[in-house]
């Protein structure tokens, strides 16, 4: 009896197969023969050759040993595998989707933001109209942006120089003018040097490799190698040139008048290249 049961179990294991379920909920029995990062190869029952299938077309594969391969989180073909026209269309679709999501989020934020009274105190050393940019951005998010003339008048009345503003002064302005949030920051310049140092190969004169009975093909290989090095150095030089120069550093923070909490919103030493 035990022998019959053992044989039965052995046969059932042999005849059991993997079951593949597609995203269209179609099931196929067969054998999973291979798998890589983006594809699987599945030999369906009755077929002689395994078929290559993208994981984004498959919901799951239930293995004959009872384990489950779940591909439900892979919903579309990777961009690098798409034909150019499909890749461009997909990127455009994603861009439109992001814009719609952003517009929806802004609309939701507006319902609460329009209740908040805020002010942007002129950014210190602002020669680039950043104050106005911030005001415009906050206004687009439906905040009630108050004219900062009232804030400057407060500082003038207290004989506080705009060069000496601190968090206490900002909080005092907020309390006096019944604001919810107040914004302030400062700019500075950062000089990024031209950091480029050529390799010895790139600056050395062209000296081909010396071989016995060197052929034309070997001469060509020498030239290709040195040309590749030269092109690589040219790219490095161009990149270093693009990265060098004068940058505008920018720090922006907000203070919640009711809690006194200070939050850094922007702290970027390369906010903008001048």
What secondary structure does DSSP assign to 72-95, as a single string?
TT--S--GGGS-HHHHHHHHHHHH
Question: Going edge to edge, which strands form the sheet with 58-62?
Answer: 51-54, 39-44, 27-35, 18-22, 58-62, 68-70
Three-state DSSP at 266 gives strand
Question: Going edge to edge, which strands form the sheet with 245-256?
Answer: 144-146, 117-120, 181-192, 245-256, 262-273
Angle between helices 167-176 and 149-157 (to 10 degrees): 110
Which of 122, 187, 186 minimizes the C-alpha distance to 152? Answer: 122
Which of 74, 257, 274, 271 minimizes the C-alpha distance to 183? Answer: 257
Residue ranges, the chain, pLDDT below 70: 1-15, 196-233
For domain 109-192+245-273, give the CATH superfamily: ABC-type transport auxiliary lipoprotein component (3.40.50.10610)
pLDDT reported for residue 222: 55
pLDDT reported for residue 9: 43
Length of the chain: 274
pLDDT reported for residue 140: 87
CA angle 57, 63, 64 (to 5 degrees): 145
- What does the pLDDT look like over 8-42, one tens digit per residue? 444 444 457 899 999 999 999 999 999 999 999 99
pLDDT reported for residue 10: 44
- What does the pLDDT look like over 83-108, one tens digit per residue? 999 999 999 999 999 999 988 888 88
Q: Where are the domains of the chain?
A: 18-79, 109-192+245-273
Q: What is the pTM of this model?
A: 0.55
Which of 32, 25, 39 minimizes the C-alpha distance to 61? Answer: 32
Interatomic CA distance for residues 124 and 152, integer angstroms: 13
């Amino acid at each position: 009896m035990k022998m019959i049961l053992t044989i039965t179990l052995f046969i059932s294991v042999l005849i059991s197969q993997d079951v593949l379920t597609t995203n269209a909920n179609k099931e196929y029995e067969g054998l999973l023969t291979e798998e890589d990062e983006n594809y699987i190869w599945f030999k369906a029952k009755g077929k002689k050759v395994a078929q290559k299938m993208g994981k984004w077309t498959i919901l799951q594969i239930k293995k004959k040993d009872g384990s489950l391969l779940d591909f439900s989180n892979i919903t579309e073909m990777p961009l690098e595998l798409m034909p150019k026209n499909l890749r461009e269309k997909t990127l455009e679709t994603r861009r439109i989707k992001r814009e719609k999501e952003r517009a929806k989020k802004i609309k939701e934020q507006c319902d609460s933001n329009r209740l908040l009274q805020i002010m942007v105190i002129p950014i210190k050393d602002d020669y680039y109209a950043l104050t106005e940019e911030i005001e415009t951005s906050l206004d687009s998010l439906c905040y009630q942006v108050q004219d900062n003339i009232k804030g400057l008048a407060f500082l003038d009345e207290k004989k506080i120089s705009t060069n000496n503003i601190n968090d206490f002064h900002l909080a005092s302005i907020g309390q006096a003018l019944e604001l919810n949030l107040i914004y302030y920051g400062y700019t500075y310049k950062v000089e990024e040097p031209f950091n480029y140092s050529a390799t010895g190969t790139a600056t050395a004169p062209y000296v081909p490799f010396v071989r016995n009975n060197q052929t034309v093909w070997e001469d060509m290989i020498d030239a290709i190698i040195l040309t590749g090095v030269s092109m690589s150095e040219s790219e490095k030089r161009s990149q270093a040139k693009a990265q060098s120069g004068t940058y505008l550093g920018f720090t922006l923070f907000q203070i919640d008048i009711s809690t006194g909490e200070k939050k850094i919103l922007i702290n970027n030493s390369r906010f903008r290249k001048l």
